[in-house]
Chain A
Amino acid sequence: MIEITGLGKTFTGQDGSAVRALDNVNLSVQDNEFLTVLGPSGCGKTTMLKMIAGLMPWDEGEISIAGNPVRGPGPDRSMVFQNFALLPWSTVLENVAFGLRLRGVSKSEREDRARELISMVGLTGFETKRPGELSGGMQQRVGLARALAVEPKVLLMDEPFGAVDEQTRRLLQEELLSIWERTKVTVVFITHSMEEAVLLGDRVVLMSARPGQISEIVPVPLERPRSSDVGGLERSKEYVEITAYLWERLREMHDEHRAKNPAALNGAGR
């Protein structure tokens, strides 16, 4: 349903140097699939997501969703941001209803819908709070509720749990799984955590940097639903094997990168 063919993008730096952010990316995402994208920083995974969202132009290739070429943002997609991107002056209710408001849904209707979503992400009772009064985890629940409120076909998530602490992250992952199991929306989920990529995804897209390319797509044969027994899942043989394999591959990429750029500092992605 999401078809990406020959996608390429070159950024020109201020000093005139060209950086190949994406190079010949081909990817197709199935309906109701949960796809995770993993890669070192600078591999263009966020760039690709923004292109799918219609927020960023590209140089070559084509992206289409359900057969319609992407020309800009559309009602079939919504996005969850790493830093939450909540309006600090609006209440939780107004934030969740924001997308609906932009789409011209009447006040009473959008507030009803927003309340539904707020309860779905477990924030009932916080409707009149402002983001500044919430913890990071709660803020991202608001971000998730806002994205789901517009009933997208595709949910685009850009390292959504990267800015919250480990415990909260675990809880949010479980909740996201259970929400996805119920709504069956198509998800493209960017992460830099191997564990997260395996735990959530049907397939893990492994990307490499400079140029940003898909280096491998790894299927995750773990059983669904996963939300009920995340702990057990993490002890399973398949889970351990896949994460170990992904780590091996990331490490190889890192070493190759270092061999090509001896000056690059250890761990520095760009």
Chain B
Amino acid sequence: MTQRTAVLNTQTHTTPLPMPQRNPQRPAWIRALDSNLTYQIGTFALFALAWQLYGTYWGGLLVPTFTETVIAFVELLGTGEFWEAMFISNQALFIGFALSIIIGVPVGVLLGRFRTMERYSDVYLNILLVTPMAAIIPLLIMSVGFGLLSRVILVTIFAIVMVIVNVRAGVRQVDPTLIQMARSFGASEREIWFRVLIPGALPSIMTGLRLGLGRAVTGMVIVELLMVSLALGGLILEFRGMFNGPGLYATIVAILIEALLLISLAHWLERKAAPWAPNNQKGRGSR
């Protein structure tokens, strides 16, 4: 968002040669979005060009050109195999992510609310945060097998830390006098959670969900690559085995696109959910 405003500022202050197609009458946010989009498309075109050149002149068997990848991607979308893989992968993603919300939010609130609990839990959170999760995959398979359950568990483990840590941070920055105020009006602990802590932490909760979603996607792919060659991860392995470069890249692109769409959605929700938060307001200062 800071980038966006920075772009705006340079335009309004320092451009003696404004781009002709831009109408200054349009609202600021459309212009900002516009300019952002221009830059994004520009950098993407540059990237695609470099890729195309590299693939054409230096790419071996496993580095297809950009256009080959695009064609393979379109073909991939036409196969039933791909959609089945998408379905299976996303099953684990959504169940796992939902679980990390259902468990992560209350745990985060609890840890943010009670300091002593935090002291005991910090070690485990750090373990979850820094341990390479791939290391526990064999452990998971031994205990719950190859099924949906183990994939769900892995996605949850990947995502839940981000949710917990952010919710905890959000709850902790809720003004303690608000809690006192609620108590002074006779609020129960439950009412404090639902009327003060959770609304107050909502911006951070939404951030946690967005970051957790990113980790969930990572978890989804990793588990399929390392544990059960299935669905999207399975497709990647299969294409690699057949030395099908374009197919391999196309699958990765599909995952990327899904991740980007999900993150944008989460970002949009984040801003929608707490319009009162200072970060989500534009040009609407307090008097």
- Tell me the A residues contacting B by CB distance below 8 Å: 50, 53-55, 73-75, 77-79, 81, 83, 85, 87-89, 98-99, 101-103, 130, 132-135, 150
Contacts and interface: CB of A to CB of B under 8 A. Distances in A.
A100 B175 CA distance: 21
Interface in B50-80: none
B185 A103 contact: yes
Interface in B170-212: 175, 177-178, 180-187, 191, 195-196, 199-200, 202
A172 to B, nearest CB: 16
B214 to A, nearest CB: 26
B225 interface: no
Contact of B287 (A53, A79, A87, A133): A133
A73 B287 contact: no
Contact of A87 (B180, B191, B199): B199
Contacts of A103: 185-186
A11 B178 CA distance: 23
B181 A79 contact: yes
Contact of A55 (B178, B184, B195, B284): B184
Nearest to A84: B177
A75 B284 CA distance: 37
B180 A85 contact: yes
B286 A89 contact: no
Contact of A85 (B177, B186, B191, B195): B177
Sorted nearest first, the 3 A-B pairs with minimum C-beta distance are A85-B181, A99-B185, A85-B177
B199 A73 contact: no
Contact of A135 (B184, B276, B287): B287
Nearest to B202: A89
Contact of A133 (B175, B199, B202, B286): B286
Nearest to B274: A89
Contact of A98 (B177, B185, B276, B287): B185
Interface residues of B, number: 24
A132 B286 contact: yes
B196 A134 contact: no
A53 B184 contact: yes
Contact of B185 (A73, A83, A134): A73
29 contacts: A53-B184, A55-B180, A73-B183, A73-B186, A74-B186, A77-B184, A78-B185, A79-B181, A79-B184, A81-B180, A81-B181, A83-B177, A85-B177, A87-B196, A87-B199, A88-B200, A89-B274, A98-B195, A102-B182, A102-B185, A102-B186, A102-B187, A102-B195, A132-B276, A132-B281, A132-B286, A134-B286, A134-B287, A150-B185
B287 to A, nearest CB: 5
Nearest to A98: B185
B185 A55 contact: no
A99 B278 CA distance: 25
B276 A88 contact: yes
A55 B179 CA distance: 10
Contacts of B184: 53-55, 73, 77-79
Contacts of A75: 186
A50 B177 CA distance: 11
Contacts of B287: 133-135
Nearest to A143: B181
Nearest to A99: B185
Interface string B267-287: 000000010101001001011
Given A81-B177, A102-B187, A135-B287, 17 more contacts: A50-B180, A55-B183, A73-B185, A73-B186, A77-B184, A81-B181, A83-B177, A85-B178, A87-B178, A88-B276, A101-B195, A103-B186, A132-B276, A132-B281, A132-B286, A133-B286, A133-B287
Contacts of A101: 195
Contacts of A132: 276, 278, 281, 286
A73 B180 CA distance: 10
A102 B191 contact: yes
Contacts of B278: 132
A163 B257 CA distance: 50
Contacts of A89: 199-200, 202, 274, 276
A91 to B, nearest CB: 10
Interface in B135-184: 175, 177-178, 180-184
A54 B181 CA distance: 11
A172 B206 CA distance: 38
A83 B179 CA distance: 13
Contacts of A81: 177, 180-181
A99 to B, nearest CB: 4
A254 B166 CA distance: 46
A130 B276 contact: yes
Contacts of B182: 98, 102
Nearest to A103: B186
B2 to A, nearest CB: 20
Nearest to B177: A85
Interface string B212-231: 00000000000000000000
A85 B185 CA distance: 12
Nearest to A134: B287
